[in-house]
Chains A and B, each alone.
Chain A
Amino acid sequence: MNLLEFLNRFFGRDNGASKDVAKERLRLVLVHDRVNISPQVVEALKEDLISVINKYMEIDQASLEVSLNSSDGTMALVANIPVLGIRRGA
């Protein structure tokens, strides 16, 4: 631990307790472990989502993210899909 780190800790400015990082990483990895779903299936789901949404909207396919998440014991499929524009008259 260098002096700066020490002072930060001493004055309570270190807000990144490493156990919180551990907990959050575990929480996410366990969601995937528990559903036992292969990355290939997630990838296929992603491609199907793109083809459906693409009919109605122009989306940024490169930065699309699909992941499983959980909070309070319920699981959610979280998709973050940046929309570039709406296809009129589709």
Chain B
Amino acid sequence: MGEVLVITSGKGGVGKTTATANIGTGLALMGKKIVMVDTDIGLRNLDVVMGLENRIVYDIVDVVQGNCRLKQALIKDKRFENMYLLPAAQTKDKTAVSEEQMKNLSDNLKTEFDYIVIDCPAGIEQGFKNAIAGAEKAVVVTTPEVSAVRDADRIVGLLESSGLREPKLIINRIRPQMVKKGDMMSMEDIIEILAVDLLGVVPDDESVVVSTNRGEPAVMDKASRAGQAFRNISQRITGEEIPLMNLEANSGWLEKIKRWVTKS
């Protein structure tokens, strides 16, 4: 039986979809059979982040309403043996599926896949409730900003009252230089405030923009620091103990000279 994991945040724009794409692909790189489910009905994006936007025929609403079989709606990613995407519908709204239907869908997918990674919409309304309905574990994504941390705290409370105990935290877009100067909250600061377990820290990395432009998750890029962080996170999800990466590795004097030379 597979495991159903939901990626949430409350606030929009902190990197839920990027995290979903990278965790899903990271697990597939490890040889797991996975499916990513986009539940952001009306604002689907996981398909473009994954570079699979041209292959959609059916979507999640078609599946739950019985317009097609589940297998017909699953898009197989040709780059990996074991990776699939169930896209959201773009022309319907969040009330097109119910919590009950989402639970049934998750139960079905669990029999086929090792991991089901659900991309949750922003907000705390029906879309959020649908996304978490069939989940067994939750990941909360935040950035080191007051607005994102505040919303993450609210989401942690809502998850726990829905029976998803002990959600795990991903702190995205950390900038080590700003943390060093005292101008950005550190991971320790954020963990202290939210009082949840840390799943991983992802440095702010331009390579994520490039990989999103191309529709190839950063985990596929061996040189990407954010990709490395997400590969570590994927390994932790499967139960491996991987130490946190050294965020400052790129700020040594050699790197500084390199950057200075390439700039001029």
Contacts and interface: CB of A to CB of B under 8 A. Distances in A.
B154 A22 contact: no
| From A9, A17, A23, residue with most partner B Cβ within 10 Å | A23
B185 A19 contact: yes
B149 A34 contact: no
Contacts of B186: 19
Contacts of B184: 19
A17 B185 contact: no
Interface of B is mostly: helix
Contact of A19 (B150, B153, B183): B183
Interface stretch (A25-33, A49-57, A60-68, A75-83): A25-33
A18 interface: yes
A30 B150 contact: yes
B153 A30 contact: yes
Interface in A1-55: 9, 17-20, 22-23, 25-27, 29-30, 33-34
Given A25-B146, A26-B146, A30-B193, A20 B153 contact: no
Interface of B: 145-146, 149-150, 153-154, 157, 179, 181-186, 189, 193
Interface of A: 9, 17-20, 22-23, 25-27, 29-30, 33-34
